[in-house]
Structure 1
Amino acid sequence: MNDFQPMTVLNETATADRPWLASLVGIHDANTITLDLTKFVAGVHYESGNLLQPRNVLKSGIPLGLNDTTGLYEPYAGPTSEAQTVTVTGSPTGGTYTLTFSGQTTAGIPYNATPAQVRAALEALSNVNPGDVVVSGGPHPGTPVIVTFAGQYLGDDVTQMTASATNLTGGASPAVTVTTSTAGGAAGASNGTQKLAGFLATESLFAPGSTKTSGALLWYGEVFAAKCPIPFDPANVTATRPGVSIHYR
């Protein structure tokens, strides 16, 4: 099912729902495009509808790429962010372990740490700012935690962390290992969406179950990259579609 709504960009004088838009220059030249809704994720790219507003709402400011095979626009698939898996083995019953990242070592992390505790330990390092890591999985020791690098490390090939299990107790030879589950820095796709095509200029509404809808593409203008609804680092953009001219603040 497709849901195409009329898209007209008129004389824009405000950026009320577009804090990411640094300049109105170029907004008059936004192109009407077709979006492949099957590639967008609820809660990430769009807000689901409700009884008062039954249509889903795609967020403005989403970086977009053009799929060369389908001719449809999808979320920009720039360089991937690194993900590292921390696994506690040997069934410890007490104690702590540490992680070392680029020469900085955390305080003791509990043997049964939750993702939030691992994140807090990493964010306490001098080279990790709040928002630089997203931690999922866990809790230890039964389930590994996955540390995905974001913020200043978004899309980067970062140094693999090391771990020390010296202070773990109980169990049978407790240990901690770190493996790189997703290497950072490589292009996230090879179908054309790895080239930045621009940003979704305005919110787009579509009915649940729709597979396509129309949108407006901002391909010329100025953007506050840090305010985009999807984590985006201009320094990682290695390729753009022809004609794209976006400047960042």
Structure 2
Amino acid sequence: MDIQPYTSTETLAVGRPWLMSMLGIEANETVTLDLSQFDENLHWTAPTAYQSDRKMKSGIPLGKITASGLYAPYAAVTNEVQTLTVTGSPTGGTFTITWSGQTTAALAYNATAAAVQTALENLSNIAPGDVTVTGNAGGPWTLTWGGTQLGEDVAAPTTTSSLTGGTTPAVAVATTTAGGAATASDGTETFKGFLFTEIAFAPTSTKAAAPLMVHGQIDPSKLPVAFDPTDLPAGSNSQFVYKA
């Protein structure tokens, strides 16, 4: 049998820091999750020596797969991803990054990703968590936007180069993933509600019954998965009040 009965290990006071009030719990619906669509760490935790079941986290935003009728993680709008690439093989010098009218301190030609991220976060219009920078020292660096820019079509930064050596060195900017577009077309791009409680399921299960919360008051900043209610597309469930 591939359907695991719904079980909960939570109490009303534990495990749901995202829930602002119990308003609407009578409106919960029982749905079936497609467990193959959920990821370890992001959505569920692995079994331990003392607990053989996996634990699906409460508060996961869900959508409904049209073809199967099963529920899976809500495929939120995409986050903007940009790359900065040093060209011309410089051997020294610096460059700056300008975003939304503000310019970073000078960065070395062989700056680390951490240094680039820190320089961006030092701008007053970029808060920690708004952008994550990865890559090798000297680039290319990948800028993945989130936080207040979650799901937004983020304007590309510009750069000013004082790089030296090499051949006409510069820092090129490219958008590799445009923010704001839906990531799916299978039905999960439409938000249906939140997984109301943590549930336990066996590693061999492919499906699990679960309570879908369709009405209530939510603090999005405390959900286990990044979620920006202002980015919900037309037709999504709107029976929620979100903390400002």
- Provide TM-score, normalisation by structure 1: 0.89
SS at match of 1:165: strand
RMSD between aligned alpha carbons?
2.2
What do the CA deviations read for 1:162-192 (whole angstroms, capped 9, x no partner)? Answer: 11222x2333332211111111111221221
1:34 to 32, 53, 63: 32
Q: Which residue of 2 aligns with 1:76?
A: 74
Is 1:239 matched with 2:234? yes
Q: Comparing 193-202 with 101-110, which one deviates more in the overlay?
A: 101-110
Task: Identify the match of residue 204 of structure 1 among 199, 206, 211.
Answer: 199
Letter in 2 for 1:196: F
Aligned residue for 1:6?
6
Residue 56 and residue 96 in structure 1: after superposition, are their counterparts in 2 closer, same or farther (change >3 A)? farther
Contact 2:89/2:165 (<8 A) preserved: yes
Q: Secondary structure at the match of 2:191?
A: coil
Query: Which has the larger displacement, 88-97 or 189-198?
Result: 88-97
- Cα deviations across residues 58-95 of structure 1 (Å, max 9, x unaligned)? 11111111111121111111221111111112233333
Question: Contact (CA 8 Å) 1:7, 1:216: kept in 2 or not?
Answer: no
Q: CA deviation at 1:21?
A: 0.4
How far apart are the structure 2 equivalents of 1:233 and 1:176?
A: 32
- Alignment of structure 1 residues 59-138 onto 2, 5 Å: 59-136=57-134, 138=135
Structure 1 unaligned blocks of 5 or more: none
**TM-score, length basis structure 2:** 0.91
Q: How many pairs were matched up? A: 243
- Asked whether the 8 Å contact 2:4–2:205 carries over to 1, the reply is no
Q: C-alpha deviations, 1:106-148, integer Å up to 9, x for none?
A: 1112222222221111111111011111222x1132x422111
Residues 49, 93 of structure 1: CA spacing in aligned structure 2 closer, same or farther, 3 A cutoff? Answer: farther
Distance 2:44 2:216 in 1: 23
User: What's 1:140 paired with?
Assistant: 137
1:6 is paired with a residue whose SS is coil
SS in structure 2 at match of 1:235: helix
Deviation of 1:240 (Å): 4.2
Q: Give the whole-Å Cα distance in 2 for the aligned partners of 1:101 and 1:108.
A: 14
Runs of 4+ in 1 over 4 A off after TM superposition: none
Task: Give the C-alpha shift of residue 234 in structure 1.
Answer: 1.0
Determine whether 1:49 maps to 2:47. yes
Contact 2:8 2:199 in 1 (8 A): no
Cα distance in 1 for residues equivalent to 2:201 and 2:6: 12
Matched, 1:156 2:141: no
**Identity over aligned pairs, percent:** 49
Q: Which residues of structure 2 form unaligned runs of 5+? A: none
Structure 1 residue 101, shift from structure 2 partner: 0.8
CA contact (8 A) 2:6 2:200 kept: no
